Amino acid sequence: MGTTGRKLRADAERSIRTIMEAAERVLSENPGATMEQIAEAAGVARTTIHRRFASREALIDIMTVAAWREIAEAVDAARPSTAPPQVAMYQATVNVLRVKSGWRFALTNRGPLSGEAARIEADVIAKCDLAIRRGQQEGAIRPDADPLWVRRVYLALLTEAAHGPHPGHAGPCGEAAPAETPAETDADIDELATRVMDTLIRGFGPARPEADRPRED
């Protein structure tokens, strides 16, 4: 029913959005959450969800596709194939972090994707690999580094930056309470992106002499 061709009334489409947002919120804290819980969070009867989404699985699938579409947009907006690799990757990192914080659940790895989501993911991955290759040719990334490993590390860093605790607050153990998304400011996201790129390119080793990096104070 989700992708039936007929035109929906305005309030119906509003319902769909509300449901997906609530589902994202609830499922990101409890991936096994019930349709009932999702409905309650959305302020909607459970039957309404079933009216708009054929099944629980369908709901999640549609959310996943929507999320990956936004990711693809975020990547393309960074002009990864024309801009210089460094600035493209930084910009892509910023954009993707923003999207990821809004699709915490939908973009979580729950086994391999399928259908359109898989196609979009493959496309994004390809662009990511291209950027890495260009980074190597340009000298920003060591040529002897395994591109696959670089990509995996980059993606892992993205996930860490998007889903972990924030720079400011540090609980006793750090990640015990990821409860709320504290409405990331642009400054926050910029700092996170800087962290990711810095970690990726410089690592945590001692600062380089001023040959590579102009300054650092």
Partner DNA sequence: ATTATCAGGAACATGGGTGTTGCAATTATC
Partner DNA sequence: GATAATTGCAACACCCATGTTCCTGATAAT
Structure tokens at 100: 């990821």
87 sits near a second copy (criterion: CB under 8 A): no
Size of the site for a second copy (CB under 8 A): 42
35 sits near a second copy (criterion: CB under 8 A): no
Q: Cβ(52)–Cβ(1) under 8 Å? A: yes
140: how many CB neighbours lie within 10 A of its CB? Answer: 18
* 196-210 b/e (C-beta count within 10 Å ≥ 16 → b): bbeebeeeeeeeeee
Residues 6+ apart with CB under 8 A from 193: 90, 93, 94, 97, 161
- Here's the x/- map for a second copy, 99-138, by CB under 8 A: it reads as -------------x--------xx--x-------------
157, 162, 189, 193: which one contacts a second copy (CB under 8 A)?
A: 157
54 sits near DNA (criterion: CB under 7 A): yes
Residues binding a second copy (CB under 8 A):
112, 121-122, 125, 139-142, 145-146, 148-153, 156-157, 159-160, 164-165, 167, 170, 173-176, 195, 199-209, 211-212
